[in-house]
Amino acid sequence: MTRVHVVGTAGYGAADFVRYALRHPHLELGALESHSHADKPVADHAPMLRRLNRRYDAPGTTLEQLKANDVVLLAGRAEDARAFAPKLLARGARVIDLSDAFRLQAHADGAVYGFPERYRAQIARATFIANPGCYPTATLLALLPLAEFANDIVQLIVDAKSGVTGAGRTPVTTSLFAEVDEDVRAYGFAGHRHEPEISQELDAGGITAPFVFTPQVVPLKRGMLVSAYAVFGRTADARAVEAAYERAYAANPFVRILPAARTPSLVAVAGTNDAEIHLSIHDRVARVLCAIDNLGKGAAGQAMQNLNIMLGFPQETALDDRTVVA
């Protein structure tokens, strides 16, 4: 059994990760650290974990209990991850960071960017993984198969809608029910914090066309729908583009390419690590829709997928469960 510790356990993504870990036949829970909820019952704070008879551990418990080859999920603030990750790695731990502390220029920091559909071989050899953000995950799933047509693409447009859990669990006015209900709120026009991450990975895939990114919060607890448009300089070869997507995801168990008559559904992916993709070609425009759970494939599910790859387990281990409760 491999022991896994979680730092910042009180957040939405961390709770989902613990849910997956409880179902994993090869993992056992170590410390469940929380600065804000130390010594409080987990069941009182996370309804999905009510069968877990544990209290949140105080900060520092992970380092006290840590042994070489343990896995640590860092689910707190980026500044905490930057300070904590080197200490854990020096002690021989494997680290998966949910924050954006190490995503940019990940390899320069010794981390592997944890996007399994592109970096699976590197993840399998890694001890330190920077887990991608939810917006970049859905956007990259939608666009990276177009890499072989990169020279023909002149513009990318990405319209992305996220459930409110993407803002985290710390109370802020803009995330209150009365603020988000019956509204769709676009934001980040001056530059969203995930844009550099998206650009980095598109560039790495050879796609350098300029892109416009519009994130929006919708009145849902969880879920993300990206509508991406790749504008070609000439009429796109529909059959060639469709074949590229089929090749890209043929060996990826969590990505479903939908038939023309079916569009991605947030209900279908809720509580899972799945992604649904719909592709259509309109003259010079490839329209790609991608639905994920922002807490699943966009956070905890992808972290568990990365853990499985890193430890040599089947990717699907513990990831066939569902929940629709945030």
Q: Report the Cα–Cα distance between both ends of the chain, in Å, rounded.
A: 28
Residue of 47, 24, 35 lying closest to 221 (CA atoms): 47
134 close to 298: Cβ distance less than 8 angstroms? yes
Q: Three-state DSSP class for 312?
A: coil
What backbone phi and psi angles, to 5 degrees, belong to 93? -85, 160
CA distances 21 to 30, 72, 300, Å, are: 11, 12, 10
Task: Please name which of 324, 308, 256, 266 lies closest in space to residue 316, comparing C-alpha atoms.
Answer: 308
C-alpha neighbours within 13 Å on the C-beta side of residue 13 = 34
At residue 43, the 3 state secondary structure works out as helix
* Ramachandran angles phi, psi of 186, nearest 5°: -85, 145
290 catalytic per annotation = no
Q: What is the rounded distance in angstroms from the CA atom of residue 153 to the CA atom of residue 147? A: 9
Contact 243, 144 (CB under 8 A): no
Q: Which of 134, 207, 288, 326 is catalytic?
A: 134
Within its chain, how far is the Cα of 303 from the centroid? 7
Q: Please identify every residue annotated as catalytic.
A: 134
